[in-house]
């Protein structure tokens, strides 16, 4: 029961994380104009990954998409790629996780297959969360660097008017979404352990001899083993040679046959 709860909770948390990543990627408030020195302004600017917007004091808002790809900074394009990869992996993980839920039976799927699918979806959620967190952190680092460079130029009198940008709401949404996807992936990996059947965890393999036990008897040494028994050598026309007084056999010579 606890395994099912952990699996379902991991799925729901990952679903929130993936949805938050999609929302953060589509938002236009990744960077907003800093109003610290000029709180009252007629124009308020903010930017996203896909377009930049200007909102006037009258309430009219105009957004303009980025019509170029090669003209954008390399780090900016890297952030786009990380967010897209995280969203794709998250959606694929959700599809795999739906079929891996223990409370859903599809055909004769075994628990071992569900455990493997659960582990796969968990790894996808972890990678998706890391992609979202990394992409948002890289963009935040870009904002911090540009902010302090603009502040230094303003204090040195190099530029009288300089628009500085600070963190927008999309960054916090992306951080939270990446954390949720990461936590959901860890929960899915923990639920995978409970789905593995007990007999497959401690599966022992016994080896039995395929042949019969053969016992060999040892006996006294009887020659080289290649000589035939003297009794078996007797045949037709075979006569044993007579023995002499000292016990030796005497064989006829060639002169005896003359």
Say whether pLDDT at 210 is over 60. no
Report pLDDT for 156. Answer: 60
Report pLDDT for 243. Answer: 57
Q: Looking at residues 213-233, what average pLDDT do you find?
A: 49
State how far the alpha carbon of 194 is from the alpha carbons of 12, 98, 121, in Å. Answer: 18, 17, 15
Report pLDDT for 205. Answer: 46
Q: For the chain, what percentages of helix, strand and coil (3-state, to nearest 5) are there?
A: 55, 10, 40
Say whether pLDDT at 204 is over 50. no
Q: Write out the H or E segment, with its range, that includes residue 187.
A: helix 169-195
Report pLDDT for 153. Answer: 62
d(CA 222, CA 169): 100
139 in Cβ contact with 77 (< 8 Å):
no
What does the mean pLDDT of the chain come to? 77
Max Cα–Cα distance, the chain, nearest Å: 152
Say whether pLDDT at 206 is over 50. no
Main-chain dihedrals φ then ψ at residue 74, nearest 5 degrees: -65, -40
189 in Cβ contact with 119 (< 8 Å):
yes
Report pLDDT for 17. Answer: 95
End-to-end CA distance of the chain: 111
Instruction: For the full predicted model, state whether its pTM sits above 0.85.
Output: no
Q: Looking at residues 158-174, what average pLDDT do you find?
A: 79
Report pLDDT for 86. Answer: 95
């Amino acid at each position: 029961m606890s395994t099912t709860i952990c699996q379902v909770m991991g799925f729901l948390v990952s679903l929130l994380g993936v949805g938050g990543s999609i929302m953060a990627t589509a938002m236009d408030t990744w960077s907003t104009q800093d109003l610290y020195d000029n709180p009252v302004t007629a124009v308020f600017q903010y930017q996203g990954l896909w377009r930049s917007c200007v909102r006037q004091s009258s309430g009219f808002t105009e957004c303009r998409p980025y019509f170029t790809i090669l003209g954008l900074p390399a780090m900016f394009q890297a952030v786009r790629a990380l967010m897209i990869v995280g969203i794709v992996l998250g959606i694929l993980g959700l599809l795999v996780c739906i079929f891996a839920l223990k409370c859903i039976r599809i055909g004769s799927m075994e628990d071992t297959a569900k455990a493997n699918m659960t582990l796969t979806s968990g790894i996808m959620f972890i990678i998706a969360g890391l992609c979202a967190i990394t992409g948002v952190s890289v963009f935040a680092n870009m904002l911090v660097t540009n902010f302090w460079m603009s502040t230094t130029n303003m204090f040195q009198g190099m530029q009288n008017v300089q628009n500085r940008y600070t963190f927008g709401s999309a960054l916090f949404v992306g951080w939270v979404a990446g954390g949720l996807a990461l936590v959901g992936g860890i929960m899915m990996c923990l639920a995978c352990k409970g789905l593995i059947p007990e007999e497959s965890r401690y599966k022992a393999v016994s080896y039995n001899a395929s042949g019969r036990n053969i016992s060999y008897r040892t006996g006294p040494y009887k020659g080289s083993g290649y000589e035939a028994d003297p009794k078996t050598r007797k045949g037709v026309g075979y006569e044993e040679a007579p023995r002499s007084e000292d016990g030796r056999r005497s064989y006829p010579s060639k002169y005896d046959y003359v």
